[in-house]
Amino acid sequence: MPDYTNEIKKRRTFAIISHPDAGKTTLTEKFLLYGGAINLAGSVKGKATARHAVSDWMEIEKERGISVTSSVLQFNYDGYCINILDTPGHQDFSEDTYRTLMAADSAVMVIDGSKGVEAQTRKLFKVCVMRHIPIFTFINKMDRDANDTFDLLDEIEKELGIATCPINWPIGSGKEFKGVYDRNSKSVLTFSDTMKGTKEGVESEIPIGDPKFDEAVGEEAKELLMEEIELLDGASAEFDLEKVSKGELSPVFFGSALTNFGVETFLKHFLQMTSSPLPRKADVGIIDPMKEDFSAFVFKIQANMNKAHRDRIAFMRICSGKFDAGMEVYHVQGEKKMRLSQPQQMMAQDRHIVDEAYAGDIIGVFDPGIFSIGDTICMSNKKFAYEGIPTFAPEHFARVRQLDTMKRKQFIKGINQIAQEGAIQIFQELNTGMEEIIVGVVGVLQFDVLKYRLENEYKVDIRLENLPYEHIRWIENKDEIDVKKITGTSDMKKVMDLKGNPLLLFVNSWSIGMTLDRNDGLRLAEFGKN
């Protein structure tokens, strides 16, 4: 077996999903601390501080102190090479957040123990489900008063439709938080306040028969714990790795990222339960990451990271084999042999040029404007294309008015380029010319990004007029249906995308139902196929 397969086996590539403020950044930071990749708390994301992470490349980000774009972090821990795909945490997240999930082999869902399942988690979760990737749950902030544990699990099961299997169980929460009970080893991991992680905690693992157990937990809490565990053993799903790997069962862990508690336990279990890079579907069948030569697909394009150079960076996920800098590869959609220019990787605070990378890794390459999202790069002696990345439904729409009509050309060029990078989607009303342009975005911040970039990069001023639509649907059977004849509610709008696909815009979900009722045989889809 060639030695690169060992490198691939070591790799774990996952995304962290959560609603803003649940503790995603804190958890990521603690992971990096364990991996020795950073030694300074607060270096992942500057937030209120003056420090800015590598991904903060745009003025807007600096002004608002948030991370618009997702970045990738790589570190080693316990013999594993871990790639964390960071997803923008602000509620104004973009389509990139969704796309990042296309590059991950599993997802970690961080939930605030006092809030339960929140809106953004719900949205991101849908994409994980569509991909059938394993989802691990970390219920955070147990050092604060949390909701009832059974209620939290119930909420996950009902709201997200996934069975849960707690691997450990919290003993109290807030001031009464004593630690977590490991169901497998039947021992408690005691909690000690680390003063927000600034001081090393004295965690001890005490088996249940040990007199120290009673001392650490207290009589009352122990009694309650035993009752809960009995109830849990009877009621919850049994651990089944196969179900976990299909995304049908989520292992659940409890902890407190801020105080460092339960993070390492979680990381260890998680690494054991997840797999090395998964095979992926292509037009020639399934591509095995270990057996095949180098291949990758583009999942994100980021423009103008370096303002002075106006460059673009295409981020690709390596899906098979080994990548060597300088090797000749084949860009399938461009039908061209090429060498990937300046391949780079992110490591916490630095970006650096890579000499080699393996399946599971993410590399960013300089893009002179040739790549599109979903493109495949492989070897020229075996050409194939990976399944495309779906187009995710925008939730906010606006009409674009160009203020200086003299600059029509720049405007069209700019808006098309920005759309091509996948930051926005553009539509036009069905049966009208390019006069009326409607922009759709996943997060409203992208409107600001669009305006900012058109002004700064293309010298075009625009005005955006918000439209009331919140839902968009692709017509799945567009070839069987006469789009002109579709009758919906009066506030429904028919539009088409750049490729001429017809779509419907709706103000609310009730109108979607009405339209389906009124048009026999009409099938609508939430994701657009590419």
For ligand G4P, the binding residues (CB under 6 A) are: 18, 20-26, 47-48, 89, 140-141, 143-144, 256-258
Query: Is 184 assigned to a binding site?
Result: no
Distance, CA of 291 to CA of 2 (rounded, Å)? 9
Query: Is 140 assigned to a binding site?
Result: yes
CB of 258 to ligand G4P, least distance (A): 3
Burial code of 97-113, b = ≥16 C-beta within 10 A, e = fewer?
Answer: bbbbbbbbbbbbbbbbb
Query: Is the Cβ of residue 141 or residue 396 nearer to ligand G4P in the bound state?
Result: 141
Query: Is the Cβ of residue 26 or residue 168 nearer to ligand G4P in the bound state?
Result: 26
Query: Is the Cβ of residue 20 or residue 134 nearer to ligand G4P in the bound state?
Result: 20
CA 461 vs. chain centroid, Å, equals: 32
Name the pairing type of β-strands 344-347 and 336-339: unpaired
Distance, CA of 116 to CA of 157 (rounded, Å)? 11
The total of other beta-carbon atoms located within 10 Å of residue 69's CB is: 25
Q: Quote the DSSP letter at residue 180.
A: E
Query: Is 24 assigned to a binding site?
Result: yes
CB of 221 to ligand G4P, least distance (A): 20
Distance, CA of 217 to CA of 214 (rounded, Å)? 5
CB of 72 to ligand G4P, least distance (A): 16
Distance, CA of 176 to CA of 254 (rounded, Å)? 15
Query: Is 137 assigned to a binding site?
Result: no
CB of 463 to ligand G4P, least distance (A): 32
Cα distances from 496 to residues 319, 431, 461, 502, in angstroms, run: 33, 9, 24, 4
Query: Is 141 assigned to a binding site?
Result: yes
Query: Is the Cβ of residue 20 or residue 394 nearer to ligand G4P in the bound state?
Result: 20
In degrees, to the nearest 5, what angle opens at C-alpha 247 toward C-alphas 243 and 249?
A: 55
Query: Is the Cβ of residue 269 or residue 407 nearer to ligand G4P in the bound state?
Result: 269
CB of 21 to ligand G4P, least distance (A): 4
Q: 């990345």: which residue's tokens?
A: 389
Distance, CA of 264 to CA of 39 (rounded, Å)? 16
CB of 470 to ligand G4P, least distance (A): 24
Query: Is 265 assigned to a binding site?
Result: no
Query: Is 87 assigned to a binding site?
Result: yes
Query: Is the Cβ of residue 29 or residue 95 nearer to ligand G4P in the bound state?
Result: 29
Query: Quick one: CA torsion of 39, 44, 46, 52, rounded to 10 degrees?
Result: 100
Distance, CA of 23 to CA of 142 (rounded, Å)? 11
Distance, CA of 216 to CA of 222 (rounded, Å)? 9
CB of 138 to ligand G4P, least distance (A): 10
Contacts (Cβ under 8 Å, ≥6 apart) of 93 = 87, 120, 442, 443, 445
Query: Is the Cβ of residue 126 or residue 144 nearer to ligand G4P in the bound state?
Result: 144
Q: Contact at 8 Å (CB) between 502 and 478?
A: yes
Phi-psi region of 176 (alpha: psi -120 to 50; beta: other; left: phi over 0): alpha
Query: Is the Cβ of residue 143 or residue 375 nearer to ligand G4P in the bound state?
Result: 143
CB of 452 to ligand G4P, least distance (A): 23
Query: Is the Cβ of residue 20 or residue 528 nearer to ligand G4P in the bound state?
Result: 20
Query: Is the Cβ of residue 94 or residue 372 nearer to ligand G4P in the bound state?
Result: 94
Query: Is 86 assigned to a binding site?
Result: yes
Q: Contact at 8 Å (CB) between 257 and 228?
A: no
Query: Is 18 assigned to a binding site?
Result: yes
Taking the alpha carbons of 251, 125, 446, 468 in that order, is the dihedral positive or negative?
A: negative
CB of 169 to ligand G4P, least distance (A): 17
Query: Is 405 assigned to a binding site?
Result: no
Query: Is 22 assigned to a binding site?
Result: yes
CB of 94 to ligand G4P, least distance (A): 16
In degrees, to the nearest 5, what angle opens at C-alpha 93 toward C-alphas 107 and 112?
A: 55
Q: Phi, psi at residue 366, to the nearest 5°?
A: -65, 130
Q: Phi, psi at residue 55, to the nearest 5°?
A: -75, -15
Q: 């995308």: which residue's tokens?
A: 497
Query: Is 398 assigned to a binding site?
Result: no
Residue stretches of the annotated binding site for GTP: 18-25, 86-90, 140-143
Residue stretches of the annotated binding site: 18-25, 86-90, 140-143
